[in-house]
Amino acid sequence: MSDFFHKNSISHPMNRRAMLDRCGMGLGALGLTGLLQDEGLLGAPNPLAPKQSHFPGRAKSVIWIFVNGGPSHVDTWDYKPALEKMDGMTFEGFDRFTGFFANAVGGLMKSPFKFTPRGQCGKMVSEIFPRLGEHVDKMAFIHSGHTESNNHSPALFMMNCGVPRMGYPCAGAWATYGLGSSSRDLPSFVVMSDPLGRGLPKGHAANWGAGFLPSVYQGTHFRPKGDPIDNLHRPKEQDTSRQRRQLDLLAQLNRQDLKKNPHEEELAARIESFELAYRMQTAAPEALDLANEPEHLKELYGLNVGKSKHFAAQCMMARRLVERGTRFIQIYSGGMANQRSWDGHSDIKGNHSGFAQETDQPIAGLLTDLEQRGLLDETLIVWAGEFGRLPVAQKSGKPGRDHNPHCFTAWMAGGGVKGGVSHGESDEVGHKAAVDKVHVNDFHATILHLLGLNHKELTYRYGGRDFRLTDVAGKVIAPILA
């Protein structure tokens, strides 16, 4: 074969044709694709076929709690006693253009929340996370995160796609591209957004887009209202068995063509896509249906508590999806910006305690549930937003805090991460990352590493260049690896 056939860095297993020959007419009973997929032999045209990771990964799947709007690290996980002493003092040398509201910069402001030591490790945790505090021994904190934009949309793009601009593939898309799908009948990369009508994160679908990667890798956004997936419901008189027979007939006709053109791989991929669609119609509603979850688990997640009900349901769905093979899930806490998300420009106290109340018990419940099922070891939980918040007050009736691109805190748990550790430090007041700084590229490199992917090798050639999630940088944060 001549050398003009370009290959991307992930090679596909070849040839489905013999398999098709082998299974011949067995579709109706067995499900052609199921058979193929089970044997791991889906060929080149199926871009979602499971692929070999670069090395054995610790995590099989990722649930990323996206703390939308920019959570304040000094009010959540990054305890700053110095702020208490310096409360109200002018922050000398502070560039008032750091945040968004240069004319509302106030003095340094202590956290309105009490911090107490929690867990074996004694991590100082804000009172707004009473339940999550119980899990600090599972968590690896990164206190020295920093990013490249002080504005929501670019910072969201940075956090999701590694570049502060629209149009690049996000981490979930890269992971799916690198590993394929391990679900037979569900989307591999799922995004859930705020169901309370508070909008989508800024930048919308570009946050879970595939950029220049084939669009098959983009996140499937479950619509928060109505059917989570478009066209999931068959016309109402088209019952399962009738549609099954329809599909068998369709496959039979398509296979007649395949016989004439036995090497046409796109055709086989199409047969398969109908099979997966057929199964998805049953599998997706089943995966998202919490009716049969036992009452004690619903209690655990906070599904019966007014404030946290919606987020609890999403966390529980995430667990069900992970169990069924979905690779990458993002749940956005909060909607668009300002009071609709963690974007506490005014009343940081009310804002953060409100959103903490929505999420504290559900995330804690998720961690407990996964652990009890033995799934936590292979499921990476990520808690991170697009940036942190400033140690100075943003003047307002009730003071808030403005955006801070220089420092944020994130944590990871499960999926090959050490528990009860803290990596990196911010400066005395939490203004800037100071010790063992972690760039967003490093953060991404670590997530890919835990999935068994080398961020430098996970490339895609587009417009004449090999692109990566981590651009031209990124270093795995080794100290937090278990």
From candidates 24, 93, 374, 464, binder to another protein by CB under 8 A: 464
289 binds another protein (CB under 8 A): no
**Number of residues forming the site for another protein (CB under 8 A):** 91
Lookup: tokens for 389: 């918040």
Q: Choose between 6 and 296: whose C-beta lies nearer to another protein.
A: 6
Lookup: tokens for 337: 């910006």
Binding track over 253-282 against another protein, x by CB under 8 A? xx-xx--xxxxxxxx-xxxxxxxxxx-xx-
449 binds another protein (CB under 8 A): no
Distance CA 57, CA 455 (A): 13
From candidates 236, 296, 306, 478, binder to another protein by CB under 8 A: 236
Q: Which stretch binds another protein (CB under 8 A): 82-90, 238-246, 351-359, 405-413?
A: 238-246
Cβ–Cβ under 8 Å, residues 337 and 156 = no
Smallest distance from another protein to CB 265, Å: 7
Smallest distance from another protein to CB 410, Å: 25
Lookup: tokens for 34: 């199921």
Cβ–Cβ under 8 Å, residues 20 and 27 = no
Q: Which stretch binds another protein (CB under 8 A): 123-131, 132-140, 196-204, 424-432?
A: 196-204
Query: What three-state secondary structure class fits 409?
Result: strand
Among the listed residues 179, 180, 176, the one whose alpha carbon sits nearest the alpha carbon of residue 191: 176
Q: Which stretch binds another protein (CB under 8 A): 16-24, 120-128, 318-326, 413-421?
A: 16-24
Binding track over 381-420 against another protein, x by CB under 8 A? ----------------------------------------
225 binds another protein (CB under 8 A): yes
Neighbours of 334 (CB within 10 A): 30
Query: What three-state secondary structure class fits 316?
Result: helix
From candidates 202, 319, 345, 439, binder to another protein by CB under 8 A: 202
Q: Choose between 126 and 339: whose C-beta lies nearer to another protein.
A: 339
Near another protein in 318-337, by CB under 8 A = 336
Q: What sections of 324-382 are H helices per DSSP? A: 348-372
Query: Alpha-carbon dihedral of residues 156, 162, 164, 169, nearest 10 degrees?
Result: -80
220 binds another protein (CB under 8 A): yes
Neighbours of 247 (CB within 10 A): 17
Using a 10 angstrom Cβ sphere, with 0-12 exposed, 13-18 middle and 19 or more buried, the burial of residue 377 is: middle
Distance CA 466, CA 211 (A): 14
286 binds another protein (CB under 8 A): no
Q: Which residue has the tokens 């968590």?
A: 139
Near another protein in 37-76, by CB under 8 A = 41, 44-48
Q: Which stretch binds another protein (CB under 8 A): 75-83, 224-232, 303-311, 391-399?
A: 224-232
